Amino acid sequence: AAGALSAVLVPTFVELLDRGDQAEAERLAGRILGIALLVLGVVAIVGIVAAPWIADLLTTGVESERIAEQQRDLSTFLLRFFVPQVVLYAIGAVAVAVLYAKRRLAVTAVAPIGLTVVVVVAMGLFRVVAGPDPGLDLSTGERLILALGGTLGVAAFVGIPTVALWRTGFRLWPRLARRHDPAVRRVMQRSAWAVFQHTMIGLLLLAAIIVGNTVEGGTLAYQVAWVFFLAPYAVLAQPIHTAILPDLTRQANDPEHFASSLRWALDAMAVLIVPVAGALVALALPIMRVAAFGQATEAGGVGLLAIGLATLAIGLYTYSAFLLFARAYYALGDARVPAVVAVASAVVGIAVMALGGALTSGRTTVAFLGLGHTTAYAVGALVLWFGLARRTGHLVLPASLGRAVVVTAPLALGCWALVLAIDPAGRVATGLLVAAVVAVAGVVYVGALRAIGGVPSLHPVPPHRAGSSDAPPYGAPA
């Protein structure tokens, strides 16, 4: 939701900063932050009080009452630390939005590193204190390591862009908004729709937890697979979204240039995301053999992790495309349509998960969790794609997508067959083989894609205007 809030705020800040009105941008940012802190502060208090009931819901479907009780107890403790983190995310969301509008993109990419470092240190400390197989019955100290590790990680994640914004001379202070402030009201309406859009993630996750709990280790497998799935999106696709959003905003009244920029983003994502998705599908099992530790390696846990990763990875491109299309709508000043489409698509995905839970068991049920997520975002991306075509009058077709798929499919099949034939023994041997196979396949992929002309330019190419020898510079008004 924080990412959605940042994205929906960018067009407004781009408009203000482009005309040199930083004072108004500071005033608006402060009032948005003030409202967000007030609302999310109430949410945090409610979450702290309601933590036991939330924990009960999250453990629905756990067959063993003893394990369910331990899960509820631990979940209640952690929720009372994790739910208040939404207040920190509000600060980070506004700061990041202004940095995006200022095109200070590097620091926003660095921020997750702070989160990662703190969490990794906390997990290492937890491993030392709790041992290799801690279970669910943790001491207060062990619980605090988990709770504070996550909270301090979020503080680092938020603090980096906030400090960076102050260093640019932009002063972000929470302020109380007047009752009738049209600018604040307009932005908050869009922000509310953007946050509502991201209930899609919560609905799908809740359904996955409930259905996954019918399989021993099913929920954990899905959650771990989700982390692996999200990493390539965050590293490869999200920077493209971030870079293109300010320019889409400036081109909102120029459908031809808007469509050209959107097509470039889809092409760039295809070249980067499709081969990674293919590798995750083909090599899901050996990847999880390397990554799985502790109880995840027992009782078929690696197989559950692999099937979860593979079924999620199938939809990596459509997931990235959906979020790109949502940002394109934000640039057009519309946050309502992506929100409505997101919730409707989530219902479709939940239906797929529920069907799998009712008709299947074991690994197949976990596969339906991933397929439900993939189906939801594929449906949502398709609907938004058609909607943007109607809004702009241009059907945006990514030329590089088909070429990337054509090159990736045989390579992925070959990688799968090679690893299966060699069948290395041990974590180290498997890891080395996967690394070698991916490296060779990557070189072949780049060479083949270049040979068939499937690599897009590093920057969007503006469309040529009829009747003019020179098209306007990218991002310039027509």
Say whether both 189 and 237 belong to one domain: no
Whether 376 is in a domain gets the answer yes
Residue 191 has pLDDT above 80, yes or no: no
Say whether both 163 and 239 belong to one domain: no
Whether 283 is in a domain gets the answer yes
User: CA 244, CA 8: separation in Å to the nearest integer?
Assistant: 13
Question: Residue 273 in contact with residue 320, Cβ under 8 Å?
Answer: yes
Question: Residue 145 in contact with residue 122, Cβ under 8 Å?
Answer: yes
Q: Which residues contact 182 (CB under 8 A, 6 or more apart)?
A: none
Q: Which residue has the higher pLDDT, 430 or 63?
A: 430
Report the 10 Å Cβ neighbour count for 213: 21
Say whether both 210 and 352 belong to one domain: yes
Whether 472 is in a domain gets the answer no
Query: In the prediction, which pLDDT does 378 show?
Result: 96
Say whether both 310 and 240 belong to one domain: yes
Whether 340 is in a domain gets the answer yes
Say whether both 187 and 213 belong to one domain: no
**Section 348-368 average pLDDT:** 91
What is the tally of structural domains in the chain? 2
Say whether both 212 and 120 belong to one domain: no
Whether 138 is in a domain gets the answer yes
From 100-109, 156-165, 266-275, the region with the lowest mean pLDDT? 100-109
Q: Which residue has the higher pLDDT, 284 or 292?
A: 284
User: CA 434, CA 429: separation in Å to the nearest integer?
Assistant: 9
Residue 27 has pLDDT above 60, yes or no: yes
From 56-70, 119-133, 257-271, the region with the lowest mean pLDDT? 56-70
Residue 307 has pLDDT above 80, yes or no: yes
Query: In the prediction, which pLDDT does 199 show?
Result: 78
Say whether both 414 and 387 belong to one domain: yes
Phi, psi of 253 (to 5 degrees): -100, 10
Say whether both 186 and 203 belong to one domain: no
Residue 461 has pLDDT above 60, yes or no: no
Query: In the prediction, which pLDDT does 1 show?
Result: 53
From 187-191, 312-316, 367-371, the region with the lowest mean pLDDT? 187-191
**Section 418-426 average pLDDT:** 89
Query: In the prediction, which pLDDT does 174 show?
Result: 87
The helix/strand/coil state of 181 is coil
Say whether both 163 and 202 belong to one domain: no
Question: Residue 105 in contact with residue 247, Cβ under 8 Å?
Answer: no
Q: Which residue has the higher pLDDT, 421 or 242?
A: 421
Whether 248 is in a domain gets the answer yes
Whether 44 is in a domain gets the answer yes
Whether 3 is in a domain gets the answer yes
From 22-36, 171-185, 369-383, 432-446, the region with the lowest mean pLDDT? 171-185
**Nearest alpha carbon to residue 279 among 457, 426, 399, 418:** 418
Question: Residue 398 in contact with residue 226, Cβ under 8 Å?
Answer: no
Question: Which tens digits make up the pLDDT trace of 108-140?
Answer: 777 878 888 888 888 888 888 877 777 777 888
**Nearest alpha carbon to residue 33 among 61, 2, 78:** 2
**Section 395-407 average pLDDT:** 91
Query: In the prediction, which pLDDT does 62 show?
Result: 65
Dihedral over Cα of 276, 115, 107, 475: its sign: positive
Range of 345's domain?
198-462
Say whether both 161 and 221 belong to one domain: no
**Section 448-475 average pLDDT:** 56
Say whether both 68 and 186 belong to one domain: yes
Say whether both 227 and 357 belong to one domain: yes
Report the 10 Å Cβ neighbour count for 298: 10
Query: In the prediction, which pLDDT does 469 show?
Result: 34
